[in-house]
Amino acid sequence: MQRKNLKYLLPLVVGALVVLGFKWFGPEEEKEVVIFSLVRDALTNVHLQPKEVDDALSLEVYENYLNTLDYNKLFLTQNEIGQLASYQKELDNLFQLGDTRFFSLSYALITSSIDASKEIYTQLLSEPFDYTVDERIGNNPESRTFAQNNEEHVEFWRKHLKWRVLNRIYEKDRAQKEDAATDETVELKSFEVLEEKAREKELELQNEWHDDLMDVSRLEWFGMYMNAYCEAFDPHTSYLAPQQNEDFELSMTGQFEGIGAALKQDGDYITIDRIIVGSACWRQGDLEAGDKILAVAQGEDEPVDVVGYKVRDGIKLIRGKKGSEVRLTVKKKDGARQVIPIIRDIVEIESTFARSTIIDGAVYDKKTGERLQESTGKTGYIRLPKFYVDFYDKDNHNAAEDVKNEIIKLKEAGVKGMILDLRGNGGGSLQAAIEIAGLFTGNGPMVQVKNFQSGTRAKNNRSSEIFWDGPLVVLVNEYSASASEIVSAALQDRGRALIVGPSKSTYGKGTVQNMFDFDRAVPGSMNQLKPLGAIKITTEKFYRISGGTTQLQGVTPDISLPGAYDGIEIGEKEYENALAIDFVEKANYVPLTKWEKQFEKAKKSAQKRVAGNPAFTKYEEYADWIAEGDKDKWIPLNYTNYLAFQDSIKAASEAYKNLSKLNDSLGIVPLDHHPTNATDSAQAEIYQKWYKGLSKDLVLREANTIVSELAK
């Protein structure tokens, strides 16, 4: 991601000035008009595939904005929706004019409705709910409609609050019973006491949420409106309001504070997007991508419910001083709830650098250490968490240079095969990806790129030197994206590596975004309006050298191992507005043929081996269970039925606990430069935890077997 110069955005300012020349606005509205004009012209002039600005776009923006405005349908009723609906086919015209009247109306309606909700939830939480009546609530807000009238609106609030109180009672009751099982002095509280405490806590949390929503600035709401337009163009284009833009710049400095997890908004939930390798939560080990954060506690303090919080607000609770404890209550993908204690730390970018070790292929008994399987020979293993590069300082770390150095070390150690692990690698530098693929192939095209300026062109690796020409397996999963897909596709198209992964395909992100800073686009006469924020916009699209695309399709592994999420949609294909699949001409390259027979033999052998492995069979069962749980469900609001509902989820999740961790251990041989005995105990701990995780990694064990067969 780079910040581009703004020569393509110069026409934008003219549009904004023309609008401002004909109308007078207050300071807020004036700023909004300028931002609206800048966003409009960026989308229509700079975006790789600009859309027709017509009624179809207007309808899409309208739906996007309603989902952002009131995702849970808790605030607006059909009365307010009726006032907004008259603009359904007008938003394209307002877009062209830079006219913000629809936003002003929506802002007035949502803030008024949020404010009015306080009286509703306060009254409902003032007395116990009836937990004996058989009623239910749907778990998917998208399948609901806005309330027809005030009575229906209050009724939905009642069920919503009852659900939340029920869940808090269930969690507290389960916790006190677990404590009582190990401490006979624990006195169990009655249902009535738990219920009253749960309502009191819910009222406190609703008040906090209400105050936070009322504190959201008009400009932040306007940013949501701008993103309704951006999202209609593609899922990776977005407007960053001034504070968000500042946060983005901070994230590029190479240092992360807190627990070390990247977060994203998923409807009403703050969700773990990815775990930063080497971070505090990575070392703790329980937090995973896809986990939804339900509550945050400072050490032993009472947890703060964060359902309904925005990411920026959740971050304020999660961040803290190094050495302090934060406890996250999360909902796992299988529906189970878990409290995860994490000691905060500072995560330097070194934690995301390439690293390597040797797998000797021997298998050891977990308890006795007895060797159960003899060594299959030395395999080099390289883990690359991201494609990093420093554009400003050539002496700083570069992913391609680091991977090259790890290859050299492994070759000197006498490895017979190589595994490049790109699982969970969300991408990064395009140039680093090209050079890393080139380490295994030499010179020639590695990817094709199309942009709005110069059409389609091949991107070549310039060096003819090949650093590893032996057996090669590339590990991927459904979260391997962008640059990871470029490397995987290039090596697959060239017949150079077997792509292996516990997924049907990689993420499917074949687009490139660039940042344009709006403050640099306006003349000095408009300095009083700054800061204006920035836009992250899709300007390029990747294509395979074969002429295909990774967009939506991702890279299909040559050997696809059973994965936990095979039954649900993950990745770019989740988005209705993702850029479509298309194709270009094949680049000028000649695939290798020397590995064809060995690859085919390895595929058949792996297929037979996986089919007979009970651990992989269990994964297939787990995937079916998760797919079933991902469907819309009705949640019982009768307490007895709710207990049975939650207990069934807990029992099933226990059955699949530690599914990917094996009971025996694969032999791992640290390289000499690893800090296993370092004076820096934190670094030593990171490596020791890394080795332990690798030794019990089911997918890595299968990859090692494949490489060992190729090396024969």
205: Cβ–Cβ under 8 A, 6 or more apart, which residues? 304, 305
Tens-place pLDDT, residues 100-148: 999 999 999 999 999 999 999 999 999 999 999 999 998 888 888 999 9
Q: Give φ, ψ of 449 to 5 degrees.
A: -130, 135
Which position has the higher pLDDT, 712 or 191? Answer: 191
Tens-place pLDDT, residues 356-393: 999 987 777 767 677 777 777 899 999 999 888 765 45
Average pLDDT over residues 409-435: 94
Do residues 459 and 446 make contact, with C-beta atoms less than 8 angstroms apart? yes
User: So what's the pLDDT on residue 144?
Assistant: 87
Cα–Cα dist 333/617, whole Å: 19
Least confident residue range of 47-56, 124-133, 465-474, 688-697:
688-697
Residue 675 clears pLDDT 80, i.e. is over it: no
pLDDT band at 660; cut points 50, 70, 90? low
Query: Residue 458 is inside which H or E element, if any?
Result: strand 455-461
Report DSSP state, residue 574: G
In 125-235, which ranges are continuous DSSP H helix? 150-182, 191-215, 218-233
- Copy the structure tokens of residue 131: 């937990």
User: So what's the pLDDT on residue 7?
Assistant: 45
User: So what's the pLDDT on residue 445?
Assistant: 97
CA distances from 18 to 21, 37, 70, 518, 528 (A): 5, 10, 34, 17, 18
Do residues 114 and 80 make contact, with C-beta atoms less than 8 angstroms apart? no
Which position has the higher pLDDT, 388 or 394? Answer: 388
pLDDT band at 5; cut points 50, 70, 90? very low
What is the chain's percent helix, strand, coil content, to nearest 5? 45, 20, 35
Cα–Cα dist 530/16, whole Å: 14
User: So what's the pLDDT on residue 28?
Assistant: 78
Residue 55 clears pLDDT 90, i.e. is over it: yes
Please give the angle made by the CA atoms of 269, 242 and 578, to the nearest 5 degrees. Answer: 55
Which position has the higher pLDDT, 70 or 352? Answer: 70
Q: Is 148 helix (H, G, I), strand (E, B) or coil?
A: coil
Cα–Cα dist 101/107, whole Å: 10
CA 629 to chain centre: 20
Average pLDDT over residues 441-467: 92
User: So what's the pLDDT on residue 254?
Assistant: 36
Amino acid at position 62, single letter: Y
- Which residues are registered as beta bridge partners of 271? 264, 292
DSSP state string for 406-455:
HHHHHHHTT-SEEEEE-TT---B-HHHHHHHHHHHH-SEEEEEEEETTTE
Least confident residue range of 112-121, 222-231, 614-623, 652-661:
652-661
- Which residues are registered as beta bridge partners of 513? 538
Residue 676 clears pLDDT 60, i.e. is over it: no
User: So what's the pLDDT on residue 10?
Assistant: 42
Average pLDDT over residues 579-601: 95
Do residues 69 and 110 make contact, with C-beta atoms less than 8 angstroms apart? yes
Which position has the higher pLDDT, 666 or 643? Answer: 643
Cα–Cα dist 197/302, whole Å: 12
Q: What is the pTM of this model?
A: 0.77
Highest mean pLDDT among 4-8, 150-154, 344-348: 150-154
Residue 53 clears pLDDT 60, i.e. is over it: yes
Please give the angle made by the CA atoms of 34, 40 and 41, to the nearest 5 degrees. Answer: 95
DSSP state string for 63-83:
HHHHHHH-TT--S-BHHHHHH
Q: Domains plus CATH for the chain?
A: 57-216 (no CATH), 255-348 (2.30.42.10), 353-510+549-593+663-710 (3.90.226.10)
- Copy the structure tokens of residue 372: 């159960």
Mean pLDDT of the chain: 86
In 302-416, which ranges are continuous DSSP H helix? 311-318, 399-412
Report DSSP state, residue 366: T
User: So what's the pLDDT on residue 508?
Assistant: 95
pLDDT band at 253; cut points 50, 70, 90? very low
pLDDT band at 81; cut points 50, 70, 90? very high
Give which of 273, 259, 429, 417 is closest to 344, Cα–Cα: 259
Residue 174 clears pLDDT 70, i.e. is over it: yes
Cα–Cα dist 406/412, whole Å: 10
pLDDT band at 236; cut points 50, 70, 90? very high
Do residues 191 and 169 make contact, with C-beta atoms less than 8 angstroms apart? yes
Residue 240 clears pLDDT 80, i.e. is over it: yes
pLDDT band at 244; cut points 50, 70, 90? low
Cα–Cα dist 338/329, whole Å: 6
513: Cβ–Cβ under 8 A, 6 or more apart, which residues? 1, 236, 237, 536, 537, 538, 539
DSSP state string for 633-685:
-EEE-SHHHHHHHHHHHHHHHHHTTTTTB-SSEEEEE--TTS-TT-S-HHHHH
Q: What is the maximum span of the chain, computed from C-alpha positions, in angstroms? A: 83
